[in-house]
Amino acid sequence: MPYSSIASQTDEKSSVATRIAGLIKDERLRAGADYWASLRQGRRAPRRRDVDPTEIPSGLLPWIVLADREADDFRIRLAGTGQYSLIGQDVTGRTLSALTDNADYNAHISGIYRRAASEMRAIYSETEFRTGGSIRQLGRLVTPLSDDGEAASQILSFQVELRLGESRNADIPFFAQDDTLSYSALLETPLDL
């Protein structure tokens, strides 16, 4: 059943987007959580073949990342154009362990992906970046996909910039600003969808 049909159904439960509104402020990420939950259809995680790019909520497709699970890492199969604007380079084909020049950040992101895969549940996180007087914040929804219903074979994630208010360099990608980039993990929480 197409996402639009599922999303328009009414029942006793409120939509996932409504239930998590207090935690996830960005409406794009709430729509992504609602979309992922609608694909599960009683399973722990949806299958990759359940994901239809034409059904991904409006405005979210540029912020998508699809990564294949490898033995000890994840390899990015697809990264939306919005990811390029955030990172400053095409990351398709890279592993998360070699995503950027910042090994600590790579380990942080890999850890979130591993947690979503091992727990077979959606993880929401926020990260703040500081560089050259700018403060920027990212929100990330990391969700597992499973072909067999037992183990995650891929990760579907959405990563968006949450605020631009204090940034002087909002049009410059995070990892292209300068060598003084630092980050802080503000939040990481599993979602019961």
Q: CB under 8 Å to 164, separation ≥6 — which residues?
A: 136, 170
Domain ranges in the chain?
A: 14-190
Fold of 14-190: Beta-Lactamase (3.30.450)
Give 134 or 104, the one with higher predicted confidence.
104
What does the alpha-carbon distance between residue 138 and residue 133 come to, in Å, rounded to a whole number? 17
Averaged pLDDT score across all residues of the chain = 81
Residues 16-28 have a mean pLDDT of 80
Is a pLDDT exceeding 90 seen at residue 93? yes
Its pTM surpasses 0.75: yes
Residue 103 pLDDT class (50, 70, 90 cuts): confident
Which pLDDT does position 77 carry in this prediction?
Answer: 96
Per residue in 26-50, pLDDT (tens digit) is 989 999 999 999 999 989 999 999 9
Query: Which is higher by pLDDT, 136 or 155?
Result: 155
Residues 157-189: tens digit of each pLDDT: 999 988 655 444 555 455 444 455 577 878 888
By three-state DSSP, how is residue 190 classified? strand
pLDDT for residue 112 is more than 90: yes
What pLDDT does residue 164 have? Answer: 54
pLDDT at 70: 95
Given a contact cutoff of 8 angstroms between Cβ atoms, the answer to whether 188 and 125 are in contact is: yes
Query: Who contacts 118 (Cβ-Cβ below 8 Å, separation ≥6)?
Result: 152
